[in-house]
Amino acid sequence: MPDVPGILHRQGEWQRSLASLSWAEKVRMAEAVRGSVEAMARLRAAERGGDPVGCPYRAAAIRERALLEASRRGGPRPAPATPHAQPGTPSSAGSGGPAA
């Protein structure tokens, strides 16, 4: 019987040890697996019929801009800005890329 807790422990230790690499080296490692991650994200998007990983920061920025515009016009204010992006909402859909 394999020592599952031991294996997981060693795997965790190995993963944590990667933190000591240089920032550039870590980014290169992320770049190496980016294609696989993208393929999985596309599959998820296709299954859900939308963009599952819209950028929440962009959504928040859009809301802030709407608030600013509304306050300038003196019209009714949109709902308070929030950085939360709900998957499948128009603000998060089609952002062209996920939040990192």
* CB closer to other proteins, 1 vs 14: 14
In angstroms, give the least distance from the CB of 48 to other proteins: 15
* CB closer to other proteins, 1 vs 100: 100
Contact (Cβ atoms closer than 8 angstroms) between residue 93 and residue 56:
no
In angstroms, give the least distance from the CB of 53 to other proteins: 7
Closest-CA residue to 52 (of 99, 19, 4, 13): 99
In angstroms, give the least distance from the CB of 76 to other proteins: 19
CA distance 100 to 50: 18
In angstroms, give the least distance from the CB of 1 to other proteins: 29
Q: Which residues bind other proteins (CB under 8 A)?
A: 15-19, 21, 23-24, 26-27, 29-31, 33-34, 37-38, 41, 53, 55-58, 60-61, 63-65, 68-69, 81, 83-85, 94-100
Q: Can you spell out the DSSP letters for 27-65?
A: HHHHHHHHHHHHHHHHHHHHHHTS-TTB-HHHHHHHHHH
